Amino acid sequence: MPENSAAVQRPLPTATASSAGSAKVAWPPALAAAAGNDRAAADKHFEAAIRQADQLPYHTEQAETRRWYEWALERFGRSSDHRRISDLREAAAAKYRELGATSRSFAEGEAGLTLS
């Protein structure tokens, strides 16, 4: 059970074209583990997905994988994850900016960028 049960109610990040139909990076098993409150499996799958995304030329996948992992960590609601959440959010935002996106609401904790 998450330390902060309110975090369990946090909605999914808004899907993008990349995340809606992505088959490039294997992070769906990580999402399933997070949704099932299996922290160990979620961490394992997300870390593998980040390594995989970083080896691919798809920069949107690098950002999306980090964005979803950030969402999962917030969902688990552990205070010990605050630094990791912040690091993932910043890394995703930086990747999106590299692609020409502008931040819409990262400061409020929602992952969402709009391509300019």
**With the CA atoms of 74, 77, 78 and 83 taken in that order, what torsion angle do they form, in degrees rounded to the nearest 10?**
30
Buried b (16+ CB within 10 A) or exposed e, 91-101: bbbebbeeeeb
Q: How confident is the model over 80-84, as a mean pLDDT?
A: 96
For the chain, give the mean pLDDT: 76
How far apart are the C-alpha atoms of 103 and 97, rounded to whole Å? 8
Task: Name the residue ranges covered by the structural domains of the chain.
Answer: 26-115
Q: pTM score, two decimals?
A: 0.69
Q: Tell me the chain's radius of gyration from C-alpha atoms.
A: 13
pLDDT tens digits, one per residue of 2-53: 444 444 444 444 444 344 344 456 778 999 999 999 999 999 999 999 999 9
Q: Which residue has the higher pLDDT, 101 or 61?
A: 61
Confidence of residue 82 (pLDDT cuts 50, 70, 90): very high
